[in-house]
Amino acid sequence: MPDTPSEMPQTPLFSERTLRLLKLSIVVMTVLIVAGLIALVIGMKQQADKLFDKQERQIQTYRYSLDEGSEYRAIHIGEEGAIWVEGLRMDGRIEAIELKKDGTPGRHIILEQGDKFVK
């Protein structure tokens, strides 16, 4: 009987068959993880395509002019998609024109500036 531990016979922790099966299971799991990641990326792309519909932007041109002598000041987007064009008239009053969503002119408002209020 051997007295030292180095002289004791070494028995392997796993048999050769068990090691082969372990290596095979690692390869299979790696393939499954890679396939799952690829499926996840494809699914995310399909969902993003649904959310951000790839229709081309529709460009609409509206032609409407302020009164003669008015100066353009700003443009605002109102409720329900209406566009408001704001201008400054020669007499100092503010002019606002509403263009409805379908492009037809809506309200035309001229605002008085000053301290006078109309009741």
pLDDT tens digits along 73-98: 888 887 777 888 888 888 878 888 88
Cα distance between residue 100 and residue 108, in whole Å: 12
Cα distances (Å, whole numbers) of residue 10 to 5, 14, 22: 9, 12, 21
Q: Are residues 39 and 84 in the same domain?
A: no
Contact 87, 66 (CB under 8 A): yes
Residue-range definition of the domain harbouring residue 64:
57-119
**Res. 49 pLDDT band, cuts 50 70 90:** confident
For 39, what's the count of Cα atoms within 13 Å in the CB-facing half-sphere?
Answer: 6
Structural domains counted in the chain: 2
Q: Are residues 43 and 73 in the same domain?
A: no
Q: What is the pLDDT of residue 94?
A: 82
66: closest CA among 91, 83, 87, 82? 87
Q: Are residues 109 and 66 in the same domain?
A: yes
Confidence (pTM): 0.40
Q: What is the pLDDT of residue 62?
A: 64
Contact 99, 82 (CB under 8 A): yes
